Amino acid sequence: MKGHEGKKIENAIRSSGMSITIVAQRLGITRRTLYNYFELESIDPRLINKIEKIIHIRVSNDDHDKNGNTPAPFLSQPESAEYWRDKYIDLLEKYTQMLEEKSLR
């Protein structure tokens, strides 16, 4: 993957609909650390692979991996129960935040 890898990771995570908090938790890091990764020019391919598996979206736009194989595409909307559970939790967190903000008015 060439270019600004941190921004590519950030864009992929945000387009996945999964919260930054959940991705960070699954990686075993803090949100701050994940935000720091977004600023990096180069990121370890193993970390990119982990993130791709978590968000079910390919971060790299490369047509071939390092062995010359064409990678299998990730589903942009996977049907796994884990994906939908995470999506539900994320929406629930946003709804709760919205209710809290509304009650403060």
What CATH number is associated with residue 16? Answer: 1.10.260
Q: Domain containing 41: what range?
A: 5-103
pLDDT in tens, 70-91: 444 454 445 566 677 777 888 8
Residue given tokens 């129960």 in the structure block: 81
Which of the residues in the chain have pLDDT under 50? 1-2, 63-64, 67-73, 75-77
Tell me the C-alpha to C-alpha distance, in Å, between residue 87 and each of 4, 10, 58, 92. 27, 17, 18, 9
Instruction: Determine the pLDDT at residue 62.
Output: 56
Angle (CA) 82-84-86 rounded to 5° is 70
- Number of structural domains (the chain) is 1
Which pTM was predicted?
A: 0.56
Give backbone dihedrals phi and psi of 17, rounded to 5 degrees, phi first.
85, -5
